[in-house]
């Protein structure tokens, strides 16, 4: 399987994924039902939602926050994240074959 990237940056280097406040989460599954990317799963033992597949989260998407009736989902600050992306773009080598990033 091909490595996921965002603007040529390997996805695993980007810390963009939801965080669930387990004190607020009621395990309703609305986030799982809303997100088409299989990011969430129910921890049946705790009856709480978990971020089961964080790398499936689309970079800069935070639409699932509106699906949570308990406001238990949060994301990193977008402006701070964008600054991190700019810094990574400066540091990562470019791939000579395609003009993209390695």
Q: Please state the domain extents for the chain.
A: 5-91
φ and ψ at residue 96, rounded to 5 degrees: -65, -30
Q: Look up the CATH number of domain 5-91.
A: 3.30.70.20
What is the spatial distance between Cα 61 and Cα 78, in angstroms, rounded to a whole number? 10
* pLDDT per position as a tens digit, 45-95: 999 999 999 999 999 999 999 999 999 999 999 999 999 999 999 988 765
Global confidence as pTM: 0.85
* pLDDT per position as a tens digit, 5-44: 999 999 999 999 999 999 999 999 999 999 999 999 999 9
């Amino acid at each position: 399987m091909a490595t996921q990237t965002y603007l040529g940056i390997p996805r695993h280097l980007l810390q963009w994924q939801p965080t669930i406040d387990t004190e607020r989460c009621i395990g309703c599954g609305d986030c799982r039902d809303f997100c088409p990317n299989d990011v969430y799963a129910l921890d049946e033992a705790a009856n709480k939602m978990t971020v089961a597949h964080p790398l499936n989260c689309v970079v800069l998407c935070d639409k699932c926050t509106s699906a949570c009736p308990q406001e238990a989902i949060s994301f990193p600050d977008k402006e701070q994240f964008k600054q991190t992306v700019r810094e990574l773009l400066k540091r990562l080598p470019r791939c000579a074959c395609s003009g993209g990033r390695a």
